[in-house]
Amino acid sequence: MEIKATKIVIIVVLSTLFVASIFVDTANAITNGQPDGNNHPYVVLVVADIGDEPAWRGTGILLSPTVVLTAGHVTDGADACRIWLYEDVTYDNVPYPLYPYGGPGSGAIEGTPYTNPDYAMGASPGLVGFLTHDVGIIVLDEPAVVDRYGDLPTEGLVDTLPVMTNIDFVGYGVQTNIRGGGQPYWTGPRIRMYAPAKLLSTQYQMNDQFIKCTANPGQGKGGTAFGDSGGPALLGGTDTVLAVTSFGTNNNCAGTGYYCRVDKPETLDWIKGFLA
């Protein structure tokens, strides 16, 4: 995700910067999860470029062989994006935080990023105006062929779901917060991870574009962390994408997480325009 100049104190956007071994105003990775294997082959690692250099990483969802859904803050400000389909994208010869970003044999597929035209971060003070329309698309230069693809929801589906509905998180975020010997930083292999969660609210009280889900690793549940931005919040046990990972409320990747709904009419219409 792109990090804006505006300092957000209590909100952390869930993408990972390729600078120093720290995260500043970013979002997070699957917590208390487990390796996903090939259970969600349409969930991919995303790296965004500024110029010819990798700038941040996130997660994406293949909706078709050439269309990837992700968060708006992952595509915003990027000159180009690339994806990896592998369940494990850890390159032992590439030290943290310089993640792989293409080249011969890397397996990357190049793409062009598009950010929702109504996307804005820090447009007005407070949680109401902090973030809006946090949705982006990457159109790939060549097809990415997997066993199946993510499904878009029907319009307004989230509004029909009761609190405590089962939610599945999938993403390539970090897993470990290193402390001691300097400023703490997050790290971990680039592995597609899965964790079950629960829907806490179908309408985030200050902005109905977001749902709120559990993020604490308790009672067998998990959450999202840095690098999971743009990954799916799936209707439990299905491939239906209810929302994309957007932001959390603290740098410890704990508490609750917030996910930008894709079942809103204007958002669905925008996404379907690329699929047409």
For domain 12-275, give its CATH number from 3.30.310.10, 2.40.10.120, 3.40.50.2020, 3.40.1350.10: 2.40.10.120
Element (H, E) at 127: helix 126-130
Residue 145 has a pLDDT of 96
* pLDDT tens, position by position, 54-63: 888 889 999 9
- Give backbone dihedrals phi and psi of 147, rounded to 5 degrees, phi first: -65, -35
What is the amino acid identity at position 232?
P
Burial class (CB in 10 A: 0-12, 13-18, 19+), 53: exposed
How many residues does the structure list for the chain?
276
pTM across the whole model: 0.81
CA-based nearest residue to 85, from 53, 49, 38, 50: 38
Q: Is 144 helix (H, G, I), strand (E, B) or coil?
A: coil
* pLDDT tens, position by position, 146-194: 999 999 999 999 999 999 999 999 988 755 554 556 654 445 567 888 8
